[in-house]
Amino acid sequence: MAKLEDYRLLCFDVYGTLIDWETGIITGLKPLLEQLGSKQPTAEQILGVYHELEKEQQSQTPDMPYSQLLATIYSPFASKFGIKEPTAQEAEIFGQSVGKWPAFPDTVDALQRLGKHYKLVVLSNVDRESFHASNAGPLQAVKFDRIITAQDVGSYKPDLRNFEFMLRTIKDEFGVEKNQVLQTAQSQFHDHHPAKEMGIKSVWIERQGTMGNQSKQIYDWKFVTLGEMADAVEKEIEAGS
């Protein structure tokens, strides 16, 4: 039976897996939601509407940078809740908020530990500038061996082109084959289902998240946090030494 230590490269989703995108999104939407006063929707309702708007916009404009995409869906989000039309400047502020979304408490330490055993690669749906802000800030400049964004590919996950681009890149740059990769992610919709279609093994970092959940759960390993995955890898290596 395969072990985690048998693989050479971890391909990470970032927002939802390393960065607490649900908290970041709700915080970014707070100026709109405050207008509802005491009639606040639940977090699940907020994230459900947001996720559907994001998914639809990504499908319609696959080459639109993520920060611009966020600004674009800000007004439709307000409309869904009967909130007055926000200004273009307010939408722009929301679009630029990505780099301020917080990392999960275990993320940086787990990445540093995992980086001793694997190549660390990012395959994210954001744009280069937004990821750079996250990496310089909440991710504390942790070192990744390769960063691939939707802006680089020209499409958004779960489009298989993103995974094909990643596989070509890591083979060319590191000599890593598909069977040596673990897609490491929270979202079933964005990552695990397309990874399965591509024949890539995956680790589900559940995070007890809402967005990207599917009724059918696909994974080869499952952990609640990335820290738990790092613990499991170290135990395997220690047991084999």
Q: Rounded to an integer, what is the distance from CA 202 to the centroid of its chain? A: 14
Token pair for 61 = 């404009």
Ordered strands of the 181-185 beta sheet: 146-149, 119-124, 9-12, 181-185, 201-205, 221-223
Q: Where are the alpha helices (DSSP H) in the chain?
A: 21-33, 43-60, 66-80, 88-95, 107-114, 128-136, 150-153, 160-174, 193-198, 226-240
DSSP β-bridge partners for residue 202 = 183
Is-contact 94 69, C-beta < 8 A?
no
Among all residues, which ones are annotated catalytic? 13
